Amino acid sequence: MSKWDGLNRRRFPRVIYPCLVVIQNKEGGDKDIILTHTENIGIGGVCLILKQDIKMFTVVELELDLLDLGNHIKCQGKVVWNVQRRTEAKNKPMFYDIGIEFMDAKDDERQRLEKIIQRLAKNIEETTSP
């Protein structure tokens, strides 16, 4: 068993799907807006790559552009994990993988996201099958 096998046992499977995300962190009274992209995404949440850490259990406003010509998905999310990436290079910024669980995504938006994920998973399966 590899080091990450236990971490990939999720309630909702995720796929690599790069989409644009705007995060608004309202913690501390200030409105901190961050533009980033996804590492992977599932119907239950998203993993983002950030140059800054966001504390565990912080509630943020999310806006996801799924790049499918549909409206952006807007919902609240909660930071459920964060991992600082290791880097061997000096003078390079440290990056964080931030796991955010969707809290109030609408059913139709979840269904739209699920269709995208199923399509991608099927494509991956077809290209990796012998």
Quote the pLDDT of residue 60. Answer: 94
Q: Tens digit of pLDDT for each residue in 10-47?
A: 566 778 888 889 999 877 666 678 888 888 998 899 99
Alpha-carbon distance of 68 to 86, in angstroms, equals 33
Quote the pLDDT of residue 33. Answer: 85
Quote the pLDDT of residue 11. Answer: 61
Q: Tens digit of pLDDT for each residue in 78-121?
A: 999 999 887 766 776 788 999 999 999 999 999 988 888 888 87
Which structural domains are found in the chain, ordered by start? Answer: 9-128 (2.40.10.220)
Quote the pLDDT of residue 16. Answer: 84
> What is the maximal distance between C-alpha atoms in the chain?
54
CA 94 from chain centre, in angstroms, equals 18
* pLDDT for 7 beyond 70: no
Alpha-carbon distance of 100 to 54, in angstroms, equals 10
* pLDDT for 1 beyond 50: no
Q: Tens digit of pLDDT for each residue in 44-77?
A: 999 998 988 899 999 999 999 988 888 999 999 9
Alpha-carbon distance of 35 to 81, in angstroms, equals 19
Q: What is this structure's pTM?
A: 0.79
